[in-house]
Amino acid sequence: AKRLIDVLDKQWAMNQDERFPGLDQIADYSDLLLRMCASAKQLVAHDPIVLEVESPLYVMGDIHGSFRDLHFYVKNLITFGHMAYTPCKLLFLGDYVDRGEASVEVAALVLALKCLAPKGVYLLRGNHETAECNANVRTYGASSFVVQCQRRFGPELGSQVHQAFNDVFAQMPLIAVVDDAIFCVHGGIPKPNENESFVGCMNRLRSPTFPRFDNLTLLEEDSLFIQTCKKTAMGLLWSDPAPANAQLTPQGFGDNPQRGDEIYSWGKPALDTFLVETGYQFIIRAHEVKQQGLRLCQSGKVVTVFTSSAYCGGDNAAGAIYIANRRLRMVSCLTHVQRPEMAEAAPGWQAGAPQANGGAVEADHAQDDMDDFNEWL
């Protein structure tokens, strides 16, 4: 893992080209990746499905193959280039691959960091950490993870590397709870089964019998238990907050047509019930691009963080969240500027405070959002 990071650092320092042309000259690059994946698989499988993590830590959202953004944050957050000297943990919320040009290198770097600091780096699974997404050439074309693997290593070895990464992804946790107060996930809150409470749903996720799936597609031969668990995992990875005008069930859930027929959205009634029953106070999630890399919604109880700037040719910033001393500080940066500023969720901080590059944290209900944050302090 250490040599792999050194190789990536050296190649990036040469020309900062996310295509990494110099890696073609590294004869054992594929072997480094395969051996690192084998080690990482054991480590992430040892983490529970529901992580319990203590602050201080930084939280990062979707990276989607943007090595520039990942490298920028890693180099600025890791003290003296080593997690051993870094007082803060790093929590990634998934979607490391697809879309961006450097999916292989992004996945390699986060897994290498996990190998070097198993108790300092935590990796959640996103919806793109499934073969249904990252091998979907029809949807993602040349930017799909499988195509990037095959382009780098050829069809046969590239498929082997792609499978090795997916073997690691299948073992990743789905949820992290920070300081017993902040529920972190890639997509959204779970949807309980009929006659099941949110507490019961969380207990089911914490059970050692909850499976880790290679594939989340529902199959006819799946047992009722497996189907139920797959649906729960799908909701955690794929769901979104419902728009204000959405039609919701009495429990507060609605359709999510942009994501698919099997995917739900969750409105404020479902969120409020979830927070009351579980005792959590905030949700931090990823899964949706935001102009400043961050967005507050659902009356300030939900923060969306997205850490891939210029996503799909856009002009959005890359965000991150710092949690310490019962405060949340939000960072928003366009990496070519490389001068982030921080907005603090603390008394006196206002939504719309200056961010890197003169932007502002987006909020649906600015004053309500800040009041809710201040209650946690």
Between the two ends of the chain, the Cα-to-Cα distance in Å is: 39
Torsion 83-205-38-128 (CA) sign: negative
How would you classify residue 239: left for phi > 0, otherwise alpha for psi between -120 and 50, otherwise beta? beta
Phi-psi region of 313 (alpha: psi -120 to 50; beta: other; left: phi over 0): left
Residues in the chain: 377
Q: Which of 128, 162, 186, 287 is catalytic?
A: 128
User: DSSP letters of 297-354?
Assistant: ETTTTEEEEB--TTGGG----EEEEEEETTEEEEEEE-TTT---EEEEESTT--TT-B
Rg from Cα positions in the chain: 20
Report whether the peptide linkage leading into residue 241 is cis, meaning its omega lies within 30 degrees of zero. no
Interhelix angle 103-116/2-15, rounded to 10 degrees, is 140
Residue 230 near residue 216, CB atoms below 8 Å: yes
Catalytic site includes residue 287: no
How many angstroms separate the CA atoms of 59 and 48, rounded?
18
Give which of 89, 94, 156 is closest to 129, Cα–Cα: 94
Q: Is residue 186 within 8 Å of residue 286, measured between CB atoms?
A: yes
For 150-153, which contacts have Cβ atoms below 8 Å and span 24 or more sequence positions?
A: 152/23, 152/104, 153/30
- CB atoms under 10 Å from CB of 293, counted, come to 34
Query: Is the Cα dihedral 33, 35, 40, 41 positive or negative?
Result: positive
C-alpha 152/C-alpha 158 separation (Å) is 7
Residues annotated as catalytic are: 128
